Structure 1
Amino acid sequence: MFIEAIKHRAINPYIYARDKETINIMLETKKGDVETVELIFADPYDFKGDQWQYKTEQMIKTGSTHLTDYWKISIKPTYRRLRYGFQCMDNQKEKVIVTERGFYKTIPSEIGNYFCLPYLHEIDIFQAPDWVKDTVWYQIFPERFANGDSSLNPEGTLPWGSEEPSPTNFFGGDFQGVMDHLDYLVDLGINGIYFTPIFKAYSNHKYDTIDYFEIDPQFGDKETFRKLVKECHKRGIKVMLDAVFNHSGYYFQPFQDVLKNQNHSRYKDWFHIWEFPVKADGYPNYDAFGFVASMPKLDTAHPQVKEYLLDVARFWIEEFDIDGWRLDVANEVDHAFWRDFRKVVKDAKPEAYILGEIWHDSMPWLQGDQFDAVMNYPFTNSSVEFFATQQMDSQTFADSITDVLHMYPQNVNEAAFNLLDSHDTARILTMAEGNKDQIKLLYLFQLSFIGSPCIYYGDEIGITGGGDPGCRKCMEWNESKQDRELFHFIQKLIKMRQEVSAFGNCAEFRFLTVDEDVVVYQKQVEEAELIFVLNNSDQTKIIEIEGLTNRKAIELFSNQEVVVEETTVTMEAYGYKCFQLHH
């Protein structure tokens, strides 16, 4: 047995509270090396004489990659405390006992050897708002969604869609434009809107804030925004705003004061300035977003900066009843700030959603004391590279998605923000070189996966565009120029997600078969079971599927009752099927 590949620590995601009475525990072993794993566990104080009264229970293999087998178990400790270890057995019947102090041949009697869960405190449990699990998001870049009030147009506004987007042009998108099209979003099945920044800023993207308490005049005023939130809520749509707390814009008043008064400015400690005089052109002599001189980094540990930004967080919830914050460049802001941010936000609205923009492993922010979710880029990258750009083979794809699911606790996965593209990336149809069949498979995977999916405005009707600024085109409102077939396909997937229990968020997910360009996966919740078959190639494929033979099923896309007699299923090029199995 390869004991050096056995991995567990008494920390997230290897052990965590699923709820106030359930503990989830995970162990990693080398792929194919271990036949069975049993959990050895009991209360740390449960002794008869000097004998610890441990029990054993079988763990389940929940996923495999080409390197690793993942084993999981859920248990309900009687007194919320636990000491535990693992008994691994290979097919030669060799046994290894895994403890915090190392590996043993027999179960040690000394309780100090074992892993420890001292006490399950309800206050420490990771809890994201429940509503997020059933939300399908729609990301709106307000400047480019719809121009509903031309009296607000900034100087030099171009006719809608008359030119390609550039880093500096304006088309006059605004809040009225969003309100005019809310029923379109309801028709699609959307129940959450994520707005990129709406606060007063210089640029068309608004990530260079001038005033965090003011709406940008090109979008409308506070009254219009208040009305927009109410109109959304009336239709069951949640509203999430984008907060840029890592850095301000060049025209942010405190930064202007620093430029004017230099080291005599009362705001000089609001920023990370290396030397005076401050020079804000070319390569900055202060910390900035990247090395962008017009986006100076804020010192979020400074008491006044912190107070100002936390007031912002509270203000927009209390005044306008927004439902969540998406936090730009969240990983470059200190953890102490985010812990206080969470307290302020949850005090103002306990059910508010806190979403951090982090592109890498985000476990430090997802312990329950900071964010409810992060933008799930590990999911995004793998899905896009397999389905859209086809740079990734099916085994690597299945491995990476299996790793993503085991990288975080289950309750974290259920609230994760699963996007495919955004204002920061090329659009998926462009990445797929216009191949709509690949994009349909990508949406099918996204909308049948665990987490909270997000659609970037216009993708549902086939808008194209390369990286920024190409991905920021004006929304196409002329129906004859929209891809209505793609719209209806996505609409159908969202409906399935809402109506078929195992299709949606809270079902167990695992890959059953991975073949060349083909993935087969199972979604299961209690008695309901779905098997998805996706053929991501331009060839017909015949696929072996365990677990389908002699089973009655309904194929959800054709709505036909089938009895699968063979162990194989024939799939046409870019074909997809979803079998709902009868139990």
Structure 2
Amino acid sequence: MSWAEHAIFWHVYPLGFTGAPPAAEPGEPVVHRLKHLEGWLDYLIELGCNGLQLGPVFASSTHGYDTVDHFAIDPRLGDDSDFDHLIAACRERGIRLLLDGVFNHVGRAFRPAAWFGSATFEGHDALVVLDHRSEAVREHVITVMNHWLDRGADGWRLDAAYAVPPDFWRAVLPAVRERHPEAWIVGEVIHGLDYRERAGLDAVTQYELWKAIWSSLNDRNLFELSWALDRHSPDTLTFVGNHDVTRIASRLTNPAHLGHALAVLFTVAGVPSVYYGDEQAFRGVKEDRAGGDDAVRPAFPGSPAELAPFGAEVLRTHQRLIGLRRRFPWLARAETTVAHVTNRQLALRAEHEGQVVVTLLNLDDAPYQFPAVEPGVVVAESSPTPDRDRGPYGLGAQAWRVVTRTVERS
């Protein structure tokens, strides 16, 4: 069993989180901003997470995804010693570190220009696609991945993996795994979970589930979520927010449905990730323009004590559900089936080796009595006091609940 099956990540975009300037100026001195992250590692633990998923930390010209040197920490964030110190701080706390590898494209200032392909990436002139047919590119990526795993990283998120021919990863990853057999490699894909097997990855990003969660809640059409779960796979990185999308608190039409979204995230199979600030009900809308990502990539204050109090209830909801996930780690590999569905009600049944968790969602303005899916007890819910008269399957208006099978003791 991979360590990743026990992982719950806190996902941070470092350049934004640390308040780094939007562009790197040649010749500017190194600023040791990565240290800012260390002050939040205990917060990560208190949230219930045990993994830190970092956005780009390597030298780039602007937003981090226009890499100019894969072997250097971005001077706006620090240097090798800052990275080593962060690794040590994570190790002291038992935190796994996932790095963001941008190997589909690079910035125009990337020196080995002979490795460039003939295209820019998705119309961005500043991003040049690498020639993935080149043996030199393949060897470079192997060397980079092993270099930072040697330095203490635990795995990689491969940015824009969907744009890279699967055969490229099939050629690269065996050389990485031979040296680092426990490394967890997840590829960013937007559509189609079959890319994982074709590329030989451990997991892929679950955008289909992400979209189905907020869309089905907004439309009060839980058949959409049911359909997505029929296609869902445990070999995925699951989320309701990340650095590339509008924040879940801004995306949902009804703020009361945030708990519903989280209940799904933490009770279905896969490796869950929480985007920094989502646990504090941060808002932010991604826009298709220059600087349109800034609202979802904000700076964090110097310490958790400086956070505004408005996110306290959402933080507690995260902690309750993450605690439940830690209590039932088998959910990472569970088989989820839809036990009951209407437009506004859904019962999900997750099972693994005889253990069962049932997640109930009610989007109606009236109470709803679900058919009893499994004898059980309430372990988490939107209301702190269960309606005992209605039993574990009687749900109030706009409510969610998680029920586990009653264990009979002899």
Q: TM-score, normalised by structure 2?
A: 0.88
Q: Secondary structure at the match of 1:297?
A: strand
**Contact preservation (8 Å) 1:501, 1:528:** no
Determine the C-alpha separation between the residues in 2 that align with 1:471 and 1:399: 29
Q: 2:87: which partner in 1?
A: 229
Are the equivalent residues in 2 in contact too, given 1:512–1:545 (CA < 8 A)?
no
User: Contact 2:229 / 2:336 at 8 angstroms: preserved in 1?
Assistant: no
1:474 aligned onto 2:299? yes
Equivalent residue number for residue 209 of structure 1: 67
Cα distance, 1:530 vs structure 2:
2.8
Amino acid at match of 2:221: D
- Give the equivalent residue in structure 1 for 2:401: 577
Find the counterpart in structure 1 of residue 206 from structure 2.
Answer: 376
Q: Does the 8 Å contact 2:145/2:176 carry over to 1?
A: yes
1:294 aligned residue:
126
Q: 1:497 to 1:515 in 2, by over 3 A?
A: same
Are 2:238 and 1:418 equivalent residues in the alignment? Answer: yes
What's the offset of the Cα at 1:294?
Answer: 1.1
The residue number in structure 2 matching 1:317 is 149
Report deviation, 1:154. 5.2
Is 1:518 the counterpart of 2:341 in the alignment?
no
Cα shift at 1:156: 9.4
**Residues 200, 131 of structure 1: alpha-carbon distance in 2 compared, 3 angstrom cutoff:** same
| Corresponding residue number in structure 2 for 1:186 | 45
Q: Partner residue of 1:246?
A: 104
Residue 219 (structure 1) aligned to one of 77, 80, 93 = 77
Structure 2 counterparts to residues 283-432 of structure 1, below 5 A = 286-318=118-150, 320-367=151-198, 370-387=200-217, 390-391=218-219, 393-402=221-230, 404-405=231-232, 413-432=233-252
Q: Could you list the per-position Cα deviations for residues 347-373 of structure 1 after superposition, in whole angstroms to 9, with x for gaps in the alignment?
A: 221010111111111314325x62101
* Contact map agreement 1:144 1:173 (CA 8 A) in 2: no
Alpha carbons 1:246, 1:332 under 8 Å: kept:
yes
In structure 2, what is the Cα distance between the partners aligned to 1:337 and 1:156? Answer: 31
Partner AA of 1:541 in structure 2: P
Quick one: distance in 1 between partners of 2:312 and 2:387?
Answer: 30
Match of 1:144 in 2: 16
TM-superposed deviation, 1:523: 2.1
Displacement after TM superposition at 1:303 (Å): 1.8
Q: Which residue of 2 aligns with 1:492?
A: 320
Q: CA offsets per residue over residues 282-315 of structure 1, 9 Å max, x none?
A: xxxx401012111111102112222222211111
Q: Is this contact kept in 2: 1:301–1:334, CA < 8 A?
A: no
Give the distance between the partners of 1:572 and 1:321, measured in 2 at CA: 48
Offset at residue 431 of structure 1 (A): 0.6
Task: After TM superposition, give the deviation of residue 581 of structure 1 in Å.
Answer: 2.7
Match of residue 55 from structure 2: 196
- 1:531 corresponding residue in structure 2: 358
CA distance in 2, matches of 1:154, 1:381: 31
Q: For 1:355 and 1:229, how far apart are their aligned partners in 2?
A: 20
Query: Which residue, out of 262, 267, 271, partners 1:452?
Result: 271
Q: Distance in 1 between matches of 2:404 and 2:358?
A: 7
Residues 490-545 of structure 1 show CA distances to partners (whole Å, capped at 9, x for unaligned) of 0111111111366x3233321111123111122223443333221124x0232331
- CA deviation vs aligned residue, 1:530-577 (integer Å, no higher than 9, x gap): 33221124x0232331445xx4x32213798998888x9442222122
1:438 aligns with 2:257: yes
Residue 317 of structure 2 aligns with an amino acid whose one-letter code is F
Match of 1:109 in 2: none
The count of aligned residue pairs is 390
Give the 5 Å matches for 1:48-127.
none
Cα shift at 1:429: 0.3
2:3 aligned residue = 131
Asked if the contact 2:12–2:52 (Cα under 8 Å) also holds between the matched residues in 1, the reply is yes
Paired residue secondary structure (1:524): strand
Distance 1:415 1:482, change over 3 A: farther
Separation in structure 2 between the aligned mates of residue 500 and residue 305 of structure 1, nearest angstrom: 42
After superposition, the Cα gap between the structure-2 partners of 1:365 and 1:396, relative to the gap in structure 1 and judged at 3 Å, is closer
* Secondary structure, aligned partner of 1:176: helix
Q: Note closer, same or farther for the CA distance 1:223–1:360 as it changes in structure 2 (3 Å cut).
A: same
TM-fit CA distance, 1:220 = 0.8
Per the alignment, residue 334 of structure 2 pairs with 507
SS in 1 for 2:191: coil
Determine the structure 2 residue equivalent to 1:14: none
Task: Describe the superposition over 1:129-178 as per-residue Cα deviations: whole angstroms up to 9, x where unpaired.
Answer: 6111111111110022246xxxxx65999xxxxxxxxxxxxxx8931011
> Rg: which structure is higher?
1
CA RMSD of aligned residues (A): 2.5
**How many Å separate the matches in 2 of 1:565 and 1:184?**
37
Find the partner of 1:542 among 352, 357, 368.
368
Distance 1:535 1:334, change over 3 A: same
Query: CA 1:511/1:244 → structure 2, altered by over 3 Å: closer, same or farther?
Result: same
- Looking at structure 1, the residues matched to 221 and 17 of structure 2 have their Cα atoms a distance apart, in angstroms, of 35
Aligned residue runs from structure 1 range 165-176, under 5 A: 174-176=33-35
Instruction: Give the secondary-structure state (helix, strand or coil) at the position aligned to 1:211.
Output: strand
Q: Contact 1:554/1:560 (CA < 8 Å) preserved in 2?
A: no
Q: CA deviation at 1:432?
A: 1.3
1:412-459 per-position Cα deviation (integer Å, ceiling 9, x unaligned): x323100112111110101114x4321111011100111001111110
Displacement of 1:182: 0.6
Task: State whether residues 222 and 345 of structure 2, in contact with CA within 8 Å, keep that contact through their aligned partners in structure 1.
Answer: yes
Q: Residues of 2 paired with 1:155 and 1:374: CA distance?
A: 29
Tell me, in whole angstroms, the C-alpha distance in 1 between the residues paired with 2:378 and 2:121: 50
